[in-house]
Amino acid sequence: MSLFTRAVVATTAARPVERLITHTRAGRAVADRFVAGQSLRDGTEAAERLNRRRMTVSLDLLGEEVTDRSGAERAADEYLEALDAIAARGLTANISVKLTQLGLAIDPSLAAGAVDQLAKAAAEAGTTVTIDMEASAYTADTVDIYADAQSRHGNLGLCLQACLYRTPEDLDRLMPLGGHIRLCKGAYVEPPNIALQTGREIDAAFVRLLTVLMRSEGVRPAIATHDPVMIKMALDLARERRDGFEFQMLFGVRPDEQRRLATMGYDMRVYVPFGSAWYPYLTRRLAERPANVWFFVRALFGTG
């Protein structure tokens, strides 16, 4: 993990910093850039705008680490509403869910049941469910719940993180199940016995997994990176690929590059978070990219 990431993680974990970011206009300005809004309506409107620009969407209801059953059930209900809205408005969109938001930390079967329910509803809405990957404490359960649900429903996908040592084996295990695999570098702070720590090593791991994914058949690669070197490599690997694949980028991050790839005819999916629980999401965005912190600092001093 870089010094930069460490510094941002340590800083944003401090309560006064959280207050500063969540309670000032500067903080709101940053949130406005990376989050579509507080309500489902804000999310679907952002999705409509992106669809008009030939980009698909993954709707993400913000929230994670839910510690009570009612909170988990509420999140599942809100996702069902999101799927209804996708069908009703004819959006080209799916949903991205975090299993801790659906109760994984309370009881894995609670989260598994919600995934079942959402996969069925997504199938009725003609779309898919992507399971986000969270901190490494949840990786094993998340992979297992995904594998089980995907083998029964067939319309799911999972995010895998290049930084984790276990990921190459997870990928080999999951590819035969079809679905889609979202490959990212990894945005959580992990210890050296679990994850690679240096940028060069994580880059190498990302390329290795990207190569395997892009040379595979039957699984849809979703390449989730904003790194120009990795995008270029993906485009080069795409020349040999017959089946589909897509790029994925986050709402508000490199929007020009998102449009450029969409205009070139590539499938570009934008991850659109909405809801009120945006602080943990935002801190990961700040920690993973110096440019995002500068954006915040400029907003704080009114020069943004």
In the list 208, 241, 259, 298, the residue contacting a second copy (rule: CB under 8 A) is 208
Is residue 21 within 8 A of residue 232, CB to CB? The reply is no
Report the residue number, 56 or 161, with the smaller CB distance to a second copy: 161
The least distance separating a second copy from the CB of residue 210, rounded to whole angstroms, comes to: 8
Report the residue number, 53 or 232, with the smaller CB distance to a second copy: 232
SS (H, E, C) the chain: CCHHHHHHHHHHHCHHHHHHHHHCHHHHHHHHHHCCCCCHHHHHHHHHHHHHCCCEEEEEECCCCCCCHHHHHHHHHHHHHHHHHHHHHCCCEEEEECCCCCCCCCCHHHHHHHHHHHHHHHHHCCCCEEECCCCHHHHHHHHHHHHHHHHHHCCEEEEEECCECCHHHHHHHHHHHCCEEEEECCCCCCCCCCECCCHHHHHHHHHHHHHHHHCCCCCEEEEECCCHHHHHHHHHHHCCCCCCCEEEEECCCCHHHHHHHHHCCCCEEEEEEECCCCHHHHHHHHHHCHHHHHHHHHHHCCCC
Q: Which of 33, 132, 254, 285 is catalytic?
A: 132
Under the criterion CB under 8 A, does residue 237 sit at the interface with a second copy? Answer: yes
Report the residue number, 112 or 237, with the smaller CB distance to a second copy: 237
Under the criterion CB under 8 A, does residue 73 sit at the interface with a second copy? Answer: no
Angle value at C-alpha 19, between 13 and 23, nearest 5 degrees: 140
In the list 210, 223, 224, 272, the residue contacting a second copy (rule: CB under 8 A) is 210
The least distance separating a second copy from the CB of residue 208, rounded to whole angstroms, comes to: 5
| 84 among known catalytic residues | no
The least distance separating a second copy from the CB of residue 205, rounded to whole angstroms, comes to: 7
Is residue 240 within 8 A of residue 217, CB to CB? The reply is no
In the list 71, 113, 168, 178, the residue contacting a second copy (rule: CB under 8 A) is 168
The least distance separating a second copy from the CB of residue 261, rounded to whole angstroms, comes to: 18
Report the residue number, 81 or 169, with the smaller CB distance to a second copy: 169
Under the criterion CB under 8 A, does residue 207 sit at the interface with a second copy? Answer: yes
Report the residue number, 4 or 165, with the smaller CB distance to a second copy: 165
Under the criterion CB under 8 A, does residue 200 sit at the interface with a second copy? Answer: yes
The least distance separating a second copy from the CB of residue 242, rounded to whole angstroms, comes to: 14
The least distance separating a second copy from the CB of residue 241, rounded to whole angstroms, comes to: 12
Q: Which of 33, 170, 182, 285 is catalytic?
A: 182
| 52 among known catalytic residues | no
In the complex, which residues of this chain contact a second copy (CB under 8 A)?
168, 172, 198, 200-201, 203-205, 207-208, 210-212, 215, 229-230, 232-233, 236-237, 240
